[in-house]
């Protein structure tokens, strides 16, 4: 079959903003770019979509190649298509963000690509339009987490309510009223209280909880949000 006449070829890529949480800090995973231009500078994880590959499979491949990670939460949030975003050749990129528990996956991070975690507010300057992608991924994460319990994807199988509240405070860059947070958390019915305690920060300790996966799936589209005035969150 003949190609469409008088049309300029366009490369298609995927880029992945990987957010992680270690129980203390919200972080982002970056790599050193392996090719020119901007070789050796910090970059998001990305790659080109193969000729016989669909976009979602491409981002899964890129994620596994760079980090060894599989079956993580992925959310497509925007396509970036400025004609000059790549100085070599016109390239559009489909951007996803991923959510992972750092402690669960840190041993799988691939050293070949010099992947490194950075606290979300201490990340270095990135190549091309990747800084814009990160800022818009953060905005999308805040918006979606106000209506769906996706931040639980960042937590280990057992966690404390202070860890969960700290995560929400870091994502939204705000302090949350403890009593109101605990009340909404209890009313959500998403958590199962365990008998074990975390005593790393105090003698009294804090009870561990785990996510009720059945309720998590059924309540995913009707989540009681922890953030006031979510309608003011604009993306």
Q: Which CATH architecture has domain 11-145?
A: Alpha-Beta Complex (3.90)
Round to the nearest angstrom and report the end-to-end CA distance of the chain: 41
Which residues touch 48 (CB under 8 Å, ≥6 apart)?
11, 12, 13, 58, 91
Which residues touch 6 (CB under 8 Å, ≥6 apart)?
none
Name the residue with tokens 């302090």. 175
Q: What is the largest CA-CA distance in the chain?
A: 74
CATH of domain 150-232: 1.10.10.10
Question: For residues 117, 123, 129 and 133, what is the CA-based torsion angle, rounded to 10 degrees?
Answer: 70
Q: Quickly count: other Cβ atoms within 10 Å of residue 113's Cβ.
A: 17
Give pLDDT tens digits along the chain (235 positions).
678 888 888 999 999 999 999 989 999 999 999 889 999 999 999 999 999 999 999 999 999 988 888 889 999 999 999 999 999 999 999 999 999 999 888 777 777 778 899 999 999 999 999 999 999 999 999 988 888 889 999 999 999 999 999 999 999 988 888 888 888 888 888 899 999 998 877 777 899 999 998 888 776 655 556 565 554 444 3
Interior/surface letters 143-172, b for 16+ CB within 10 angstroms, e for the rest: bbbbbbbbbbbbbeeebbbebbbbbbebbb
Q: pTM here?
A: 0.89
Domain boundaries defined on the chain? 11-145, 150-232
Q: Quickly count: other Cβ atoms within 10 Å of residue 94's Cβ.
A: 21
């Amino acid at each position: 079959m003949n190609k469409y006449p008088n049309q300029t070829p366009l490369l298609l890529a995927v880029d992945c903003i990987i957010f992680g949480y270690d129980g203390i800090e919200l972080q982002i995973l970056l790599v050193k770019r392996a090719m020119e231009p901007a070789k050796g500078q910090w970059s998001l994880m990305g790659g080109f979509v193969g000729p016989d590959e669909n976009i979602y499979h491409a981002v899964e491949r890129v994620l596994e190649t760079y980090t060894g990670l599989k079956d993580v939460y992925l959310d497509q949030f925007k396509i970036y298509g400025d004609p000059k975003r790549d100085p070599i050749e016109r390239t559009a990129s489909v951007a996803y963000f991923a959510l992972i528990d750092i402690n669960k996956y840190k041993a799988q991070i691939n050293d070949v690509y010099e992947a490194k975690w950075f606290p979300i507010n201490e990340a270095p300057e990135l190549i091309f339009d990747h800084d814009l992608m990160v800022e818009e991924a953060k905005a999308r994460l805040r918006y979606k987490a106000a209506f769906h319990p996706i931040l639980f994807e960042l937590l280990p199988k057992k966690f404390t309510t202070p860890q969960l509240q700290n995560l929400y405070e870091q994502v939204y860059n705000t302090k949350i009223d403890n009593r109101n947070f605990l009340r909404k958390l209890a009313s959500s019915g998403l958590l199962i209280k365990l008998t074990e305690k975390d005593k790393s920060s105090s003698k009294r300790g804090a009870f561990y909880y785990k996510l009720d996966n059945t309720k998590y799936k059924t309540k995913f589209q009707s989540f009681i949000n922890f953030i006031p005035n979510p309608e003011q969150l604009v993306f």
